[in-house]
Structure 1
Amino acid sequence: MSYAVSLPESGIFDAWRDAARRAISHRIAPEHIVWNGPGGLFDAAPLPDVAGSHAARVPKAFVELARSVIWHSVPDRLALLYRALWRLDSCEGEPLSPVDPLGRTLMLMQKSVRRDIHKMHAFVRFREVSAAGPRRRFAAWFEPSHNTLEPGSTFFADRFADMDWMIVTPRSTARFVDGALAFGPGGSKPELPDDATEELWAAYFTHIFNPARIKLNAMRSEMPKKYWSNLPETRLIPQMLADAEARVKRMHDAGVSAPRAGASIVSDRYRASLPQPAVHIATLEVAREAALQCRRCGLCEAATQTVWGEGARDASLMIVGEQPGDREDLEGRPFTGPAGQVLRELIAAAGVDAKALWLTNAVKHFKFSPRGKKRLHRNPDRGEIAHCRWWLGLELALVKPRITLALGASAAFALTGDSRPMAERRGGVETGLHGGPVLVSWHPSYILRLRDPGESKAARDDLAKDLETALLKSRVGE
């Protein structure tokens, strides 16, 4: 028997949750429900009015996921959510895992919805319209990619509670009048009056524009062109881009301005108060203290601390990764995050104490991009690797390993200067810039990124094999 479920545009999450609870309580399978489908289903019946005997239990993570996915624009989002609910209730796999195809689909939809809400908060531009009462009135036009007007409007209701406003989108309209938020049908772009404050904003935007730091791809990623027609500052961008080269030249010709009188006294006193690195470095302890004061590149400005290597000072095997991750940056030790745990498990499985090795990274500071409360890993560039190669060279000179295991492309490049793809180098032994042998293998983070279980296991086996080879070569001559 088939069932047809029709849900309203506004308040759709609560309506879907109520319908899904009744459907799952009667153990109605996903393939027997048509969600918001076309009319005229002759054999389709409405859901039972009362709940059945079965009580489903789902984790809080699913409810949070559903609250976002429900606003996605794809028509089958309701069916996908119910299928995930059914699998959770029936213990069929892990539909909330990114490894599961359904889980990955839902998580990508959740990410897209959250990004769309963020764009709404950033790019809605209100213009003041005439008001009959004491409260000021504003209106805006916006074109979201998903049905995100309802969840995105609460932000404006909290922020602009002392005024009335309206946001019109092609699908729906939000109205905030006398402190009450309501939603109705969408419409076309309204005729909005000019706003004098936009001229002030345009002047400020022009003033802070730096032509020497133009990255068009990054700008379009954060400010997609679909929003440009609604933003007062974007009409200035073509002209500013056309004049960018000339402005850079004018900035270069102007040179560096002279410091204010007396500034050198303050700056010299400040620099003198900072810890000074050692002039002569003969031990790992002195090298570590010097590295803590490293200012060779800009990564030190955002990272929590320098993450120096650790292990046996006379280790016959040195393992070099790419850079510290979020966990390593906080703890000040290499290979303590998820990828580090994979490496340490393989070292233990090989019957070796990690303290007998020297574990370090090609770059000593964490490079990341902030995303809300998270810090997302970014690969170091060649310049940053080159700046940090001096510290890696110190470690090689002071530890004097018989062989070095390079994990990943950044470590392989730092040690050998060779940037060839990893696929053609993994498992091979090359000569490092320091003159010693370097065995190239996968980085543990690469293993964690692989979604296919078979590919992940194969890469893990490759790394385990390379580790055993490196350990064997490190023992030659003992």
Structure 2
Amino acid sequence: MLTVRLPKIGSVAAWRSEARKLAAEGIGAEHVRWTQDSEQDLFASDDAPHGAPVEVRLSKQALFDIESSLYHRDPERFARAYALVLRLGRGEIRWGERADDALRKLLHQRKEVGRDIHKMHAFVRFNEVTEPGANRRAFAAWFEPDNPITEAAAPFFARRFGDMDWVIATPDLTARFIAGQLSFDETGANARLPEDASHELWRTYYANIFNPARLMPEAMRSEMPKKYWKNLPEARLIPDLIRTAPARAAEMHAKMPSIPPAFAAKAVATRAPMPEGVTHETFKQHLDACTRCPIGCRATQAVAGEGPWTAPLMVVGEQPGDAEDLSGQPFVGPAGQLFDTCAAKAGLEREKVYVTNAVKHFKFTPRGKRRIHQRPDAGEVEICSWWLDLERQWVKPRLLLAMGATAALALTGSAKNITARRGTVEATKDGTPVLLTTHPSYLLRLPDQQARVIAEAQFTEDLRAAKAMLA
């Protein structure tokens, strides 16, 4: 049997190099023994039967998972990984097939390694060891991971603390970052560190941010397992903080100011009267000034309805989108363009219809340079219903077309099961008929082309029904 000796430092890179060479020579996994021991093996050999070469091409995800699993403590990890590489190269399995016992075990160990690295990043505590007169501050730490992950975890600290020198010692390897260069060596004896004066400052900080009212000991032990406590300066405070938490929480509660909760202020805002003297000409001006809910404070501008004040049909959507928020006009974005296309197919002339939204401002979540749509909640719909009611008073439509759940909520009081209710006619509190349909944005989000064609045809049929009801 061929014995491959891997170094304790750089073992993953060494395994990768050896595995490629062995696969190219067609040496089977059963003929290779992988070890990190330096002692001579009486049965070791430098030769093994050669077979057909195996070409190995791994995806980035497969390579990441395999090499991550090699930081596990399992002594069989190198042999298991090589056997899987050969099987992948021969096409016997596909990556991710968890029905395969060996692959499932490798993926499980990769997850364990990932959790161990996360714990190391979270629970390393440095002691300052700066020498007098040094031009860079120096720190040292001791940590005991479950797996030999030092080489995988150390680059995080190099990025995070690149302006100082540091050493992190573990039972297996020691990582050193000196003058901007990261290196590793095997850990010697007496690597543990004495108590640091800065630990008392850290304990003071931890005691002050500890919230007794949110104490969940089981969750705390899950996130900060007790095996790490001996190396955490704040850990000695935890038993006493848990014991005194009920009394401290009661004291905090007694000192709390007596102010109305946030929902009370929202309820008051909901009952606030509409501004007086709003006319067709000042409608947009008053909308722009509305800050009764948080949406109005963040949007670019309000978007009023558009169309004849004598229109027999009022089409109500959800809220302006990104394009409407920037232009100040309703139904000009992708959903509005799809509405125009379907309306033309149904013989519905947009210039004879009043189009508006249940909510007049764009609610969104920023994501990089993009603004991602968020659905308004029931409270925001209720607050904005003042403006929709005013439009209805002015237009006096014979029929309302509610597009989507938010519009249905504003007009009928219910947003449930809109796809099941589409094509049906309900009524507002004052008796105005409401034809329910889906929102064009729902059609745009459908991933299946065939489903979208069917839904678009149904939407067009609803618009055709609206026209027929007004004939």
TM-score by length of 2: 0.58
Decide whether the 8 Å contact of 2:167 with 2:174 is kept in 1: yes
CA distance in 2, matches of 1:328, 1:310: 12
CA distance in 2, matches of 1:129, 1:378: 46
Aligned equivalent of 1:462: 458
Letter in 2 for 1:127: R
Question: Aligned ranges for residues 126-275 of structure 1 at < 5 Å?
Answer: 126-129=124-127, 131=129, 134=134, 135-137=137-139, 139=141, 157-165=158-166, 176-181=177-182, 195-202=199-206, 205-206=209-210, 227-228=223-224, 247=252, 250-253=255-258
Structure 1 position 250, deviation (Å): 4.5
Matched, 1:472 2:468: yes
C-alpha spacing 1:441/1:254, structure 2 compared with 1 (3 Å)? closer
CA distance in 1, matches of 2:453, 2:335: 14
C-alpha spacing 1:48/1:244, structure 2 compared with 1 (3 Å)? closer
C-alpha spacing 1:302/1:136, structure 2 compared with 1 (3 Å)? farther
Q: Structure 1, residues 175-226: CA drift from partner, whole Å, max 9, x if none?
A: 64421346899xxxx98867334335435535xx797xx8x9xxxxxx9996
Decide whether the 8 Å contact of 2:419 with 2:437 is kept in 1: no
CA distance in 2, matches of 1:316, 1:210: 61
More moved, 389-398 vs 334-343: 334-343
Structure 1 position 421, deviation (Å): 1.9
Decide whether the 8 Å contact of 1:128 with 1:136 is kept in 2: no
CA distance in 1, matches of 2:292, 2:441: 26
Structure 1 position 315, deviation (Å): 2.7
C-alpha spacing 1:417/1:136, structure 2 compared with 1 (3 Å)? same
SS in 2 for 1:280: coil
C-alpha spacing 1:320/1:48, structure 2 compared with 1 (3 Å)? closer
More moved, 245-254 vs 382-391: 245-254
CA distance in 1, matches of 2:144, 2:303: 46
Q: Structure 1, residues 361-408: CA drift from partner, whole Å, max 9, x if none?
A: 211222233444443333222111111111111111122222221121
Decide whether the 8 Å contact of 2:130 with 2:139 is kept in 1: no
C-alpha spacing 1:454/1:48, structure 2 compared with 1 (3 Å)? closer
Letter in 2 for 1:279: E
Decide whether the 8 Å contact of 1:126 with 1:138 is kept in 2: no
Structure 1 position 69, deviation (Å): 9.1
- Of residues 324, 328, 335, the one that matches 1:328 is 324
Matched, 1:418 2:418: no
Decide whether the 8 Å contact of 2:300 with 2:326 is kept in 1: yes
Aligned equivalent of 2:352: 356
SS in 2 for 1:196: helix
C-alpha spacing 1:298/1:472, structure 2 compared with 1 (3 Å)? same
CA distance in 2, matches of 1:210, 1:366: 39
CA distance in 2, matches of 1:377, 1:468: 29
Aligned equivalent of 2:388: 392
CA distance in 2, matches of 1:322, 1:142: 55
Q: Structure 1, residues 279-319: CA drift from partner, whole Å, max 9, x if none?
A: 21232x32221111112222223333222222333333222
Letter in 1 for 2:203: E
Letter in 2 for 1:179: G
CA distance in 1, matches of 2:464, 2:167: 66
Structure 1 position 467, deviation (Å): 1.7
Question: Aligned ranges for residues 257-406 of structure 1 at < 5 Å?
Answer: 279-283=276-280, 285-406=281-402
CA distance in 1, matches of 2:446, 2:349: 27
CA distance in 2, matches of 1:342, 1:238: 62
C-alpha spacing 1:366/1:253, structure 2 compared with 1 (3 Å)? same
Decide whether the 8 Å contact of 1:124 with 1:142 is kept in 2: no
Question: Aligned ranges for residues 54-133 of structure 1 at < 5 Å?
Answer: 71=64, 124=122, 126-129=124-127, 131=129
Decide whether the 8 Å contact of 1:308 with 1:364 is kept in 2: yes
Aligned equivalent of 1:108: none
TM-score by length of 1: 0.57
Aligned equivalent of 1:45: 53
CA distance in 1, matches of 2:14, 2:331: 47
CA distance in 2, matches of 1:358, 1:39: 74
Aligned equivalent of 2:431: 435
C-alpha spacing 1:254/1:443, structure 2 compared with 1 (3 Å)? closer
Aligned equivalent of 2:3: none
C-alpha spacing 1:249/1:163, structure 2 compared with 1 (3 Å)? same
C-alpha spacing 1:168/1:67, structure 2 compared with 1 (3 Å)? farther
Aligned equivalent of 2:404: 408
SS in 2 for 1:137: strand
CA distance in 1, matches of 2:300, 2:161: 37
CA distance in 1, matches of 2:55, 2:159: 37
How many pairs align? 361
C-alpha spacing 1:255/1:335, structure 2 compared with 1 (3 Å)? closer
Decide whether the 8 Å contact of 2:318 with 2:403 is kept in 1: yes
More moved, 383-392 vs 398-407: 398-407
CA distance in 1, matches of 2:456, 2:353: 20
CA distance in 1, matches of 2:336, 2:245: 46
C-alpha spacing 1:465/1:154, structure 2 compared with 1 (3 Å)? farther
CA distance in 2, matches of 1:339, 1:241: 54
Structure 1 position 128, deviation (Å): 1.3
Aligned equivalent of 1:452: 448
Identical-pair percentage? 36
Structure 1 position 255, deviation (Å): 7.8
Decide whether the 8 Å contact of 2:348 with 2:464 is kept in 1: no
Aligned equivalent of 1:265: none
SS in 2 for 1:310: coil
Decide whether the 8 Å contact of 1:409 with 1:419 is kept in 2: yes
